[in-house]
Amino acid sequence: METHSRIYVAGHTGLVGSSIVRELRKRGHSNVILRTHPELDLRDQSATQLFFEGARPEYVFLAAAKVGGIQANNTYRGEFLFDNLAIQMNVIESARRVDVKKLVFLGSSCIYPKECPQPIREDYLLTGPLEATNEPYAIAKIAGLKMCEAYRSQYGFQAISVMPTNLYGPGDSFDLQNGHVLPSLIRKFHEAKVNGSSEVVIWGSGRPRREFLYSEDLADAVVFLMNVYDGDQHLNVGTGEDITIADLAKLVGEVVGYSGKTVMNDSKPDGVFRKQLDVSKLKALGWQAKTSLREGIVQTYESFLTSNQ
């Protein structure tokens, strides 16, 4: 990408898209094209095609998606499947039609089988059944990845796919019901501290392990890959390290400054037991995450405090 290239970031108001826009601006890109959801509904095929014909982007970051934590994925199963399939189908096809030079598709580590060897290598895709709580989202993301592969092979369209681990960072959704675990814990511990509650309730058994990548690190990786990578194979993006939910809760409690106790609510699902990514392919290309989990949580808590005022 040149600094004057026309670059469309789909989903720029979300956690991932907003980080990508900041990263592009930091690197001097001055021609970033953005549309909010009310301005352009990417589930609408003709509206999406019209937008691409008018804006003629040269590069596309496809970060628009319907996302949420374990409960949202499990509750809004139809929407997670439909919205994500429609967004991907419309954006990738419109991009191809107007000869976009390159597109990066953002997926998720939940595409991999529920029980696969750890750490998870890219070639474990489609080798076993998926985790039930987020199967519709995973199926949509697998379809997006396969669409990129098929368009590369049939049309020579330069589309690459990156599969990030669990993400968190400034501007995340701190919703207690529909959010991901890390931002939800930030809100729970903060509210318990402020209200003087004696305990915080954590969902599940606390034993599952998750790998967390700071969203600003992800944006750095994604822009890096747009510039250097053009392979058929999708790439994992993560830190290569994971932590139990119980230890994560301890860390978030420390950062927030909460001194009460935590209790587990076993009636809530655990989800997949472990999904640590093998990031050796990404490392071999020369990229590594920079932000420690503690530092990332400190920054995210600050953003929560600012947005909560």
Contact present, 19 and 32 (Cβ < 8 Å):
no
User: Rounded to the nearest whole angstrom, what is the least distance from the CB of residue 217 to ligand GFB in the complex?
Assistant: 15
Which of 108, 161, 262, 300 touches ligand GFB by CB under 6 A? 108
C-beta atoms surrounding 46 within 10 Å: 9
The residue count for binding ligand GFB (CB under 6 A) is 25
End-to-end CA distance of the chain: 38
The encoded tokens of residue 118 equal 């750890």
Report the alpha-carbon angle 122-136-232, nearest 5. Answer: 30
> Is 274 among the residues that bind ligand GFB (CB under 6 A)?
no
Among the listed residues 137, 151, 258, 301, the single catalytic one is 137
User: Rounded to the nearest whole angstrom, what is the least distance from the CB of residue 122 to ligand GFB in the complex?
Assistant: 16
Contact present, 296 and 169 (Cβ < 8 Å):
yes
> Is 94 among the residues that bind ligand GFB (CB under 6 A)?
no
- Secondary structure string (H, E, C) spanning 34-96: CCCCCCCCCCCHHHHHHHHHHHCCCEEEECCCCCCCHHHHHHCHHHHHHHHHHHHHHHHHHHH
Nearer to ligand GFB, 94 or 161 (CB): 161
Nearer to ligand GFB, 57 or 136 (CB): 136
> Is 134 among the residues that bind ligand GFB (CB under 6 A)?
yes
Strand partners, 162: 106, 235
CB under 6 A: which stretch of 21-29, 88-96, 115-123, 180-188 binds ligand GFB?
180-188
For this structure, is 137 an active site residue? yes
User: Rounded to the nearest whole angstrom, what is the least distance from the CB of residue 69 to ligand GFB in the complex?
Assistant: 3
> Is 109 among the residues that bind ligand GFB (CB under 6 A)?
yes
> Is 169 among the residues that bind ligand GFB (CB under 6 A)?
no
Q: How many CA atoms lie within 13 A of 260 on its CB side?
A: 17
Which of 86, 245, 255, 282 touches ligand GFB by CB under 6 A? 245
SS3 123: helix
Q: Rounded to whole angstroms, how far apart are CA atoms 125 and 39?
A: 35
> Is 119 among the residues that bind ligand GFB (CB under 6 A)?
no
Which residues, including other chains, have CB under 8 Å from residue 302's CB and lie 6 or more apart? 170
Mask: binding to ligand GFB, 62-81, rule CB under 6 A, as x and -?
Answer: -------xxx-x--------
> Is 48 among the residues that bind ligand GFB (CB under 6 A)?
no
> Is 90 among the residues that bind ligand GFB (CB under 6 A)?
no
Instruction: Please give the positions annotated as active site.
Output: 137
Rule CB under 6 A: which residues touch ligand GFB?
69-71, 73, 108-110, 134, 137, 166, 179-181, 184-185, 202-204, 208, 210, 245, 268-271
